Structure 1
Amino acid sequence: MARVTVFTLGGTISARGGDAARMSGAEVLAELGVDTAGPSGTTEVELRDFRRVPSSSLTFEDLTALADEVARTVAAGSGVVVVQGTDTLEETAFLLDLVCTTEQPVVVTGAMRRPDLPGADGPANLAAALAVAADPGCRELGVLVVLADEIHAARFAHKAHTTSVATFASPGAGPLGVVVEGEPRLLLRPAVASRLCPLRFDPDVRVALLTLSLGDRGDLLELVTERPERYDGLVVAAFGAGHVPAWFVEPLAALTERMPVVLASRTGAGATLSHTYRSPGSEYDLLHRGLIPAGPLAPAKARLLLHALLSSGAKGPAGYDRPRISAAFAHLDGAGLA
């Protein structure tokens, strides 16, 4: 009999009535008719009522504690389902993907409609997630996101709509599979794992994320350049394929002498370029001044990867390990795959 441990963290799936109160993990599972006191069909389900908060209130301390628990659980041979709010679900899934080594399926799911509203999607999403987490065929896929009967890799999954029950997509990649009649059906597998080597996550590391917008004069960038001791790294969510205003170039280049600066795109899909444009502030200009390309990683996920790398020894008194950080991002870019 398959064994799946469910970690409940709160979120819309537990927000009956929409106020601050949250249903317990047992109440969330009861909506699906799952009784943790005994087997549920062919799966033995164990509950960990881990947190009861909106996902916007989750902290790095919460998630590092969760990652430790998940790692111990999968080491004991159990699949895992993490249930939380969708606001930060893609970030939780990617963080777990970076720090949890597991052959067992680890699935993150949630809901877009409260349990007291017509068409509540929580029970269906939880049922699909349990099916994936219990299926031996879903092992060694990394951490997965399962909603609306679609199976997504954590590195690609993205919340693309504020209210649609089909909000999660994988821009540039598509889902890894689907759940049909309660059974997972895989369509493809990721070419590489999300990480090159074991990583840890130190909540005390500080990585800033700067998103550019039209007419930006660099006021927020000044906060980083004037107080570099407050930050260990910076991710720039740039225009298009990796472009910034010309007046950003010198401050960013100067920052690369003190901390890793990663160049990502704010567009939501596609990889940063390397040499298509060569004017001041272009991707070619920035990369030749020391910035590190994020490739296809969305800015929020690039921030998590940089955070994990810095937590795992890619910084020190002699500076930061730029080759190691660059290699970790290039690993996910797919450029070297046959």
Structure 2
Amino acid sequence: MADETSTPAPRVLVIALGGTIAMTAADSGGVTPSLTARQLVDAVPGLGETGIDIDVLTFRSKPGASLTIDDLTALTTRLGDYWDAGITGVVITQGTDTIEESAYALDLLHAGPQPLVVTGAMRNPTLAGADGPANLLAAIQVAASSAARGLGCVVVLADEIHAARRVRKTHSTSIATFASPNGGPLGYLVEGHVTIANHISGRLVVPAGHQSAPLVRLYTATLGDDGAPLAALAAGADGLVVAGFGVGHVPESWVPALTEAASRIPVVLTSRTGSGPVLAGTYGFPGSERDLISRGLIPAGFLDPYKARILLHLALAAGADRDQVSAAFAATAELPGSRGWPWAAETPPSVHALARATDPVRISKA
């Protein structure tokens, strides 16, 4: 007779969004996303020996470049129906082109303690050495592990566990493309076991958006650019992210356009370098970080341009005004004098609690 007091097996939901991991050869040439979540799971060697129960959901079938923030918010809403159905954690498979952005959006929208893990593949299933099955196995093991609870959304590829806030795609083709320049990986998979080496400070959650989808533009500084498109970009946008040189510098000729834009909409200053922070008070020339912040631009701290755009988009969608946007970036950057996360008193209940208020859905094992 089985021990009635034994701990039930971990239960992981695998959600497919498409991407290289799900691609097969198309009649017209090349590869396109076509595999379902069930087909992806069935292709993972050794999964049955882990003792993890697997459920599946095919939510989208898109290349990573075609995913939208609306897709991710819809997915987060859908997850609210699943957490209380006994799910230990969730794995999301998608294209690696946009993982660094989508994972951060999911991290900001996921309020619960359950592991939310994003993975994908650099080599599609038609190639020798396809990395999808190994990445999916590792991601499932992380999602099933109690060590991953409370970490928010993480990215797992090549047996490394990365915080959504830190991770970047650093190479166009290498299977070791994902790295966390600011702080390193959170941990690793070692012989199937999760080892957490460091933690990111705090969990920050943006309330579900109730505004129409904001338009947030990103403009990158390049040598000799006169910034002529800036005025037009800012005029039609709800928010603007500027990827400046180095620690947050732009050409002097950009200053009038950015000053005018910052008087109307949130303008966030980031570094195009991809690692390291935007400074706040070191340089004093026109177009320096000190000058731009004095004109109303909002420093992004360690957030790179792509992640800063995600935070700005979700904050505006949640109805944030400029002061709340500024507070959100200051809290994320842990800047001196930060007033704290602007939604601390309004943080939504955990997704687990939301699920208890609804009838649990039946999850497909087919």
TM-score normalized by the length of structure 2? 0.84
* Cα deviation code 1:91-130 (max 9, x no counterpart): 1110011112111000000000111211111111000000
Aligned equivalents of 1:74 and 1:155: distance in 2?
A: 23
Give 1:331's aligned residue.
Answer: 331
Alpha-carbon distance change, 34 to 47 in structure 1, aligned in 2, over 3 angstroms: farther
Aligned equivalents of 1:184 and 1:125: distance in 2?
A: 14
Deviation at 1:139, TM superposition (A): 0.3
Q: How does 1:86-235 map to 2 (within 5 A)?
A: 86-195=96-205, 198-200=207-209, 204-225=213-234, 228=235, 230-235=236-241
Aligned equivalents of 1:24 and 1:203: distance in 2?
A: 31
Alpha-carbon distance change, 254 to 312 in structure 1, aligned in 2, over 3 angstroms: same
Give 2:34's aligned residue.
Answer: 22
**Bigger relative CO (Cα 8 Å, ≥ 6 apart):** 2
Deviation at 1:172, TM superposition (A): 1.5
Aligned equivalents of 1:256 and 1:15: distance in 2?
A: 43
Deviation at 1:202, TM superposition (A): 5.3
Unaligned ranges ≥5, structure 1: 315-320
The amino acid of 1:324's aligned partner reads Q
Give 1:54's aligned residue.
Answer: 63
SS at match of 1:278: coil
Q: Which moved more, 1:57-66 or 1:77-86?
A: 57-66
Deviation at 1:34, TM superposition (A): 7.9
Identity of aligned residues (%): 49
The amino acid of 2:129's aligned partner reads G
The amino acid of 2:14's aligned partner reads V
Aligned equivalents of 1:5 and 1:67: distance in 2?
A: 13
Confirm or deny that 1:6 pairs with 2:18.
Answer: no
Give 2:52's aligned residue.
Answer: 43
SS at match of 1:247: helix
Aligned equivalents of 2:64 and 2:49: distance in 1?
A: 27
Q: How many residues align?
A: 324
Aligned equivalents of 1:125 and 1:106: distance in 2?
A: 15
Alpha-carbon distance change, 71 to 97 in structure 1, aligned in 2, over 3 angstroms: farther
SS at match of 1:87: helix
SS at match of 1:72: coil
Alpha-carbon distance change, 54 to 268 in structure 1, aligned in 2, over 3 angstroms: same
Deviation at 1:60, TM superposition (A): 2.5
Give 1:249's aligned residue.
Answer: 255
Aligned equivalents of 1:21 and 1:265: distance in 2?
A: 34
